Amino acid sequence: MGQVNRLKFAEYHPKTDIALIEQYWRGLLKECPHHYFLSWGWMSTWLNSLPAEHGVRLVVGFQEDKNEPVLAFFCRPFKQEMDKTASH
């Protein structure tokens, strides 16, 4: 198995960083076969349909020695609300 380089991660907001998100997403799509539902046409429509308070971010992983993305995924920050009345 080959050597795995370390990854550095960056987070992008669809409302303020859409041009970078599109650049990274399209670049990754060129590297692999993908389904229509991962196409930029579909993803951009989905992102534009989200309400302002959605919280979705694109997380992009870069090889430590390069400025090109090697992976990307959308996620929403996890907020755990504790029920103070529940017993454990």
In a domain, 18, yes or no: yes
- With 0.85 as the threshold, say if the pTM is over it: no
Alpha carbon of residue 20 to chain centroid: 11
In a domain, 1, yes or no: no
Range of the domain at 37: 7-75
pLDDT band of residue 39 (cuts 50, 70, 90) is very high
In a domain, 2, yes or no: no
In a domain, 51, yes or no: yes
Q: Report the number of distinct structural domains present in the chain.
A: 1
In a domain, 11, yes or no: yes
Q: CA torsion, points 45, 75, 8, 79, in degrees to nearest 10?
A: 150
**Which residues are registered as beta bridge partners of 72?**
60
Q: What's the average model confidence in pLDDT over 49-74?
A: 89
Q: What is residue 65's predicted lDDT score, i.e. its pLDDT?
A: 80
pLDDT band of residue 54 (cuts 50, 70, 90) is confident
Looking at every residue in the chain, the average pLDDT score rounds to 85
